[in-house]
Amino acid sequence: MRDRNSRPVVKKIKPGISVTAAAPEQATPYLRPLLRFAAAHVPARKHKETPLYILCTAGMRLLPERQQAAILYDLVTNVPLEFDFLFSKSHAEVISGKQEGVYSWIGINFVLGRFDHEDEEDAVVTVALGDQRKSLVRKRTVGILDMGGASLQIAYEVPDSGAISSPQQDEAAKSLLAEFNLGCDVQHTGHMYRVYVNTFLGFGGNFARQRYEEQVLNQTYVHNRLHSQQIGLSPNMPFLDPCLPVGLEDTVVRGGKTLYMRGQGDWQTCAKLLQPLLAGSNGSHASLVETYKAPIDFSNSEFYGFSEFFYCTEDVLRLGGQYSAPTFTSAAQEYCSQRWEVLMQRFRGGLYSAHADQHRLKYQCFKSAWMYQVLHEGFQFPLDYPSLRTAQLVYDREVQWTLGAILYKTRFLPLRDLRQESIRQAHASWLRLSFVYNHYLFFACILVVALAIILYLLRLRRIHRRQLRSAQHPLLWLDKVVVPLGQGSVP
C-alpha cells in the first residue's frame, strides 16, 4: 500500500512488545497505535474480513513461557474488543528463529519474482519433490545471509533431497530443513519448497567483537603470568590489536579485569585470530564450522547479504552490491592500514556514507575480517563466487520477514477468493446468457404462434372456398336440367 504521496504505508514503534513483560495488561495499549494506523488505512467495510496476525520474535523468545503466555492472553482477549479485524487465538504467537528465517526467505524471493514460474528464465533449477520420483524445472530462488549485532542467519533452498544421506544428516535435517507449500492449493506441488534455515546466536558483528575481546583478555593474562610481563595492563604498554585501525586506543573491562589496547591495523593477522571464534566459545555448543549445513550448489545458486553484510561493504568501503572477495579484501586491508587520525579526517570530510558513524569506523576493520571468515571459512563460499549481492533495499523497498509472514499465512486465501469470484462470474455469465437465450426463445415462440395462426387462417379460407364451390354445383345442374315445356305438354 502507498499513501496519497506515494510513500509506503508503514508504521514502526520501538522498543519491542517484550517490554510489557512485567505488566502484560499493557500489551494491548502498546500495540494500539499500530492497530489504529492499520484501521485507518483499511476500509472500514473490510475490517471483518481482514486477517490480523501478531507474531513475536527474538525479544519475546528470551522471556519465560509464563510471561509470553500472559502477554499473548492480553492481546487475544482485548484486541477484539477494540478492533473488528479477523483475529483469533491462533493468530497471535511467538515464532521460532526457523520460522523467521523462512519468512525472510519468502519475502526476498517474492519481491524478486522467483515464485512466478510462468515467465521464462535462464537461471533455473531442477527440484526433486518429496517422493523423489518426480522432479520439475523452475526458477532458481535466492538464498539469504543476514548478520545482525548478536546473531547470524542463513536460509536457502535445497533442491536435491538426495543430498541428505547419512543418519546423522537425516536427524539434523529434520530440525534445520523446512518443507512447505506456497501454492493456493495443497495439491499444487509446483510450489513445494525445501529450505535450509539456521540461526547462529553469538555470531553477529557486535557479539563476535565481545567474544574476541574476552579471548584476547584471557590469553593476555595467561601470557603475562607465564612470562612475567605486563602487556595490556597499562596505557604505556598496551596490547597491539591487529583488528583496530593504526593508533586507535581502546579499553576493555571484563570481570574486574582491564585490558588496554592500541590498534595495529593488520587485517590478515586479524582474520587469522578470528578463525577460532567460528567454532564457538565459552562452553557454547554453537559452531559455525561443525554445525550441519545442507549442501550448496555454488555453480547454480545466488545469495543476498543483508544487515551487516551490507553495512560492512558499503558504509565505509563503498562496495555494496555485487560482492568480489579479492576487491573486498584489498579495500579492507587498505582501510585497516590507515592511521586513526586519517580516518577521522576523511570522516569529517564526508568521504564515507551518511550512515557511517564513529562506531562503524572504529570496528570496520574487525567486522570486515569477521564477515570474510564467516562467509569463506564458516559457510565455505568459494573465493571466486560471483553470485552474492549485498543490499539494504530490493527494488527500492525494504524487505523484511513480515512480508514473507503475511504471504505464508494468507497463501490459501487467494484460492477462496478466486473460486468465489469465478462462481460469481460464472453465475453472472449464465444469467446474461439465459437472458439472451430467453429473448431468442420468446421471439421464436411468437414466430411459431404467428405462423400457426396464419396457417390456420389460410386453412379456414381454403375450406370456406371449397364449401362455396360445393354449394354452387347443384344450382348449375338445375339450370341445365329444368327445361320449360309448351302449354299442354306433359313433362
Reported as a single tens digit per residue, the pLDDT across 411-422 is: 877 554 444 444
Determine the pLDDT at residue 133: 62
Determine the pLDDT at residue 430: 45
In DSSP notation, 65-134 reads HHHHHHHHHHHHHHHHHH--SB--GGGEEE--HHHHHHHHHHHHHHHTTTT--SS--SSEEEEE-TTSS-
Determine the pLDDT at residue 121: 63
Determine the pLDDT at residue 120: 59
Determine the pLDDT at residue 486: 47
User: What grid cell was written down for 333?
Assistant: 586491508
Predicted confidence (pLDDT) per residue in 125-148, tens digit: 888 776 556 778 889 999 999 998
With a cut of 70, say whether residue 11 has pLDDT above it: yes
Give 9's pLDDT tier (boundaries 50, 70, 90): confident
Determine the pLDDT at residue 205: 92
With a cut of 60, say whether residue 233 has pLDDT above it: yes
Predicted confidence (pLDDT) per residue in 42-63, tens digit: 999 999 999 999 999 888 988 9
User: What grid cell was written down for 434?
Assistant: 439465459
Catalytic residues: 100
Question: Lowest-confidence range among 182-196, 204-218, 446-460?
Answer: 182-196
Provide the 3-class DSSP secondary structure of residue 301.
Answer: coil
Give 478's pLDDT tier (boundaries 50, 70, 90): very low
Give 263's pLDDT tier (boundaries 50, 70, 90): very high
The more confidently predicted of residues 479 and 214 is 214
Average per-residue pLDDT for the chain: 84
Give 467's pLDDT tier (boundaries 50, 70, 90): confident
The more confidently predicted of residues 199 and 462 is 199
Predicted confidence (pLDDT) per residue in 88-124, tens digit: 999 999 998 889 999 999 999 999 999 887 765 678 8
Predicted confidence (pLDDT) per residue in 149-190, tens digit: 888 999 999 987 665 555 556 676 778 888 888 877 666 677
The more confidently predicted of residues 259 and 130 is 259
With a cut of 50, say whether residue 36 has pLDDT above it: yes
The more confidently predicted of residues 236 and 374 is 374
Give first-to-last CA distance, the chain, whole Å. Answer: 121
Alpha-carbon span 388 to 301, nearest angstrom: 9
Determine the pLDDT at residue 317: 95
Can you give the pTM of this predicted structure? Answer: 0.76
Alpha-carbon span 319 to 352, nearest angstrom: 11
Alpha-carbon span 4 to 102, nearest angstrom: 33
User: What grid cell was written down for 8?
Assistant: 509506503
Determine the pLDDT at residue 345: 94
3-state SS record for 396-445 = CEECCHHHHHHHHHCCCHHHHHHHHHHHHHHHHHHHHHHHHHHHHHHHHH
Question: Lowest-confidence range among 12-26, 54-68, 364-378, 412-426?
Answer: 412-426
* In the chain, % of residues over pLDDT 90: 50
- Domain 1-94: give its CATH code: 3.30.420.40
The more confidently predicted of residues 440 and 32 is 32
Determine the pLDDT at residue 190: 75
Predicted confidence (pLDDT) per residue in 349-371, tens digit: 999 988 889 999 999 999 999 99
In one-letter notation, the amino acid at residue 313 is T
The more confidently predicted of residues 40 and 290 is 40
So where are the chain's domains?
1-94
Provide the 3-class DSSP secondary structure of residue 217.
Answer: helix
- Binding residues, by number, are 149-153
- Binding residues for ATP, by number, are 149-153
Residues in the chain: 491
